[in-house]
Chain A
Amino acid sequence: MTAPLVEVHDLVVRYKSRGLFAAPFKPAVNGVTLSLPAGSTLGLVGESGSGKSSLLRALLRLVPVESGTISLGGEDWLAIDGPALRRARHSIGFVAQNPFLSLSPRLTIAQILAEPLLARGDKPGAEMKDRIALLLSRCGLPANFLPLRASELSGGQAQRVSIARALALSPRLLVLDEPTSALDVSVQAQILNLLLDLKADSGLSMLFVTHNLKVVAHLAEQLMVMRQGSVVEVGATERVMADPAQAYTRELIGFGRRR
């Protein structure tokens, strides 16, 4: 058994309610525990509002955590702060749902891909240019895309750029927030195949958030089903898909098949 890269224990995320007399919100993530072994992929599924994106944002340290623990590579991830957190974030790559919203509209593809490298302290120059071109070609795009802006790309091309940016610092973990939901079916398949290739090549660990069970079955060894902030079911993807223990999981699988 491989040692876990990510371990989450009893995690609670609750958004602040605004207003002096407003009732506190229910937790968006309520006591979630998970473990992601190095080199494997965990698919996180659930309907809208199930807390999967909040869990992901907590993992990325984009929202405050109310209680619980997160460890990354054996380190207490929630104890890191300030510039150390900024540096530590380089070990996690992030791919958002809509590439056109997640890529800066002002910058060229070359500038977008250079950003994480510059943030790490790499010096601009010929070596960085080569690295950027290599990153792009690894994600299936030629170097002549570098001077373009995101608005000049198709959805699939923009998502490839987004993945290339996430891989720029050779992260240990790739977090993907519904990376195919804004794309049409043929492009979805291309992106999923690209992710499979990347995983096979570099042994990346992935946390893949989606509401589409078919997508996650294609990629993940482990599956976790969430509803109203809590974990409904977790297990090997094949087992959960073939023999779901919970009615809600059966409902999700049935919905996927009807579609």
Chain B
Amino acid sequence: MDLVRYTLRRVFLSAFVVVGVTFLVFVVAQVVPSDPAALYAGPRPTAEQIAKARVTLDLDAPLPQRFVSFATAMGTGDFGVSYKSRRLISQDLRVYLPATLELAIFSTFLALLLGIPAGVIAAARRGSWLDRIGSLGSILSVAMPTFFFAMLLQLVFSQWLGILPLAGRLSQQISISDPLPFLTGFNLIDAVTAARPAVFLDALAHLILPALTLAAYPAGIAMRLTRAAMIEILARRHIVAARALGLSAPRILFGHALPNAVGPALTVIGLSFAYALTGAVLVEIIFAWPGLGRYVSEAILSKDFPVIAAATLVVTLCYVMMNLVIDLTQTLVDPRVALT
């Protein structure tokens, strides 16, 4: 019952955040020092073209009416047309968003898989060489600039060892001669749906290096947080009592200590998901990843406001959903979260 109430409360708060961001995006659109009609009318527009654009974009309507139209359009997924490319934004997002989401979700899983177990091992073997190597690795992963780490990974795994591809989402022979049918835009899922295991492996191989680059920072932070929390929790009396009663080391570490320690690390990884959605422009450029980051950064440079608004809302929605998943995961790991 507590869990149901907690879930409903979180869903309500998430919906509130999405509505709030929609309002904020609309307000920002009204106060930015540029004329949307002039931008829409194209390069060097005449006064007539601008006036026509004002009518097309319905810019003379009262603000509340425009907000309702804006919110309704956003709610139905009608994001309008890009000022720059004149393409439908929803079509662009269908291509770019899955690429970014696939990368962000995979890197989040990598951060979880690397950071949390490393923190647990470092805490369980405090002071040992494993702890020292883990601590050094976490500091390096946090301190090293993203572009440098990306290039280092490319150099080692692609140039020297030749075991992983340098860039792109799929090998050229697949994307040109035998392309994957577009179903969801997530190459891993589309390859499974099309029953093409070789393409699945190729997509996975292309995903590893950019995802590892994106996962490095949150994994490093998660490792440090998990280690610190585990050390504190392993000294607690109920853990000492569990040891005295003869419980096994894995049961004590993963059954008793980790569920109490994993909360802060999960929060950090959830927050880093938002960064991976739009902040990973450098990673997308270095790995030639056709994602949302590059799309949005180009829109910002050309003041393509409908694209910026649409991307902001879609990213907010993804971020809110990811946080909801993280919060609900925390309640499953530690039921007391739902009680507070």
Q: Which A residues are within 8 Å of any B CB, using their own CB?
A: 60, 62, 86-90, 92-94, 96-98, 101-106, 115-116, 119-120, 149, 162, 165-166, 169, 175
Within 8 A of A (CB), among B255-274: 256, 259-260
Q: Which residue of chain B lies nearest to A60 when distances are taken between CB atoms in the complex?
A: B244
Which of A93, A103, A104, A149 is most buried by chain B, counting CB atoms within 10 A of its CB?
Answer: A104
What would 11 more interface pairs be, CB under 8 Å, given A103-B241, A104-B238? A86-B248, A87-B246, A89-B246, A96-B241, A101-B236, A104-B256, A106-B334, A119-B251, A120-B246, A162-B241, A169-B246
Q: Which residue of chain A lies nearest to B239 when distances are taken between CB atoms in the complex?
A: A104
Q: A98-B237, A106-B336 are in contact. Are A62 and B256 (CB under 8 A)?
A: no
Q: A104-B256, A105-B336, A106-B259 are in contact. Are A119 and B245 (CB under 8 A)?
A: yes
B247 CB-CB contact with A under 8 Å: yes
Q: Once the chains are docked, how many angstroms separate the CA of A62 from the CA of B241? A: 10
Please tell me if the beta carbons of A119 and B241 are within 8 angstroms of each other in the complex.
no
Interface residue from A90, A104, A106 paired with B246 (Cβ < 8 Å)? A90
Number of chain B residues whose Cβ lies closer than 8 Å to a Cβ of chain A: 19
How many A-B residue pairs lie within 8 Å, measured between CB atoms? Answer: 65
B197 CB-CB contact with A under 8 Å: no
Q: Once the chains are docked, how many angstroms separate the CA of A185 from the CA of B211? A: 60
The 26 listed contacts between A and B (C-beta, < 8 Å) are A60-B244, A62-B240, A62-B244, A88-B246, A89-B245, A90-B246, A92-B244, A93-B245, A94-B241, A94-B245, A96-B241, A101-B236, A102-B237, A102-B241, A103-B238, A103-B241, A104-B256, A105-B238, A105-B260, A105-B336, A106-B256, A116-B246, A119-B246, A119-B251, A162-B241, A166-B245
The SS class assigned to the B binding surface is helix
For B247, what are the chain A residues with a Cβ–Cβ distance below 8 Å? 86, 115-116, 119
Instruction: Give chain B nearest CB distance to A49 CB in angstroms.
Output: 19
Please tell me if the beta carbons of B248 and A94 are within 8 angstroms of each other in the complex.
no
For A89, what are the chain B residues with a Cβ–Cβ distance below 8 Å? 244-246
Interface residue from B237, B244, B251, B260 paired with A106 (Cβ < 8 Å)? B260
Please tell me if the beta carbons of A119 and B248 are within 8 angstroms of each other in the complex.
yes
